[in-house]
Amino acid sequence: MQEAGSNGRALLHGMAHRFAVTAGSRDLGAWSKVSGLSVKWDVAEYRRGDSGHVDRFAGIPRFDEVKLSRAADTTGTTAVQAWLDEVHAYGGVPEEGAVEMLTSAGLPVATWTLHDMFPKAWQISEFDATTGRVAMETLTIVHNGFLTGAHRA
């Protein structure tokens, strides 16, 4: 979506229904909903001696699970199933992946690189031809962060 900015230049806005996801070298396709891209820090406190002053600083960062949802499709759903089969066969080796927000024109807005990611859960909605509803798949991913420097070798 393009909109004229106050300086007359066109602005590109991220569309919530456009997310490209990769896991290692695998393209997991486009997703319509992503939730859980968040970070929270534990707050560490330190008191010097018997003073009443307490210093507070950011402690360990905590990252939520990332949930991806979309209408099932031939290419993307097949790619996810292949990844799940690999995890089942070999135990799921954590790897780097990414979630990329795209504009409606397919241009990148922002990318979150997920360190040490692997699938935690997958499900597909109930199949019911009488309702006319599209089958939705949901993939839950765990990871060790998306911040620069969050990954420790």
49 pLDDT band (50/70/90 cuts)?
Answer: confident
Q: What's residue 31's pLDDT?
A: 94
Dist. CA 43–CA 56, nearest whole Å: 7
Using the predicted structure, report yes or no on whether residue 59 has a pLDDT greater than 80. Answer: yes
Beta-carbon contacts of 6 under 8 Å, excluding residues fewer than 6 positions away, are none
Helix (H, G, I), strand (E, B) or coil at 52: coil
The mean pLDDT value for 6-22 works out to 61
Q: What is the mean pLDDT of the chain?
A: 86
Cβ atoms 76, 28 nearer than 8 A: yes
Q: What pLDDT digit, counting tens, does each position of 102-129 carry?
A: 987 888 999 999 999 999 999 999 988 8
Does domain 12-142 fall into CATH 2.30.110.20? yes
What is 15-29 written as a DSSP string? Answer: -TT-EEEEETTEEEE
**Any idea where the domains of the chain sit in the sequence?**
12-142
pTM of the prediction? 0.80
Q: Which two tokens stand for residue 96?
A: 């780097």
Q: Write down the H helix ranges in the chain.
A: 74-90
Q: What's residue 72's pLDDT?
A: 94
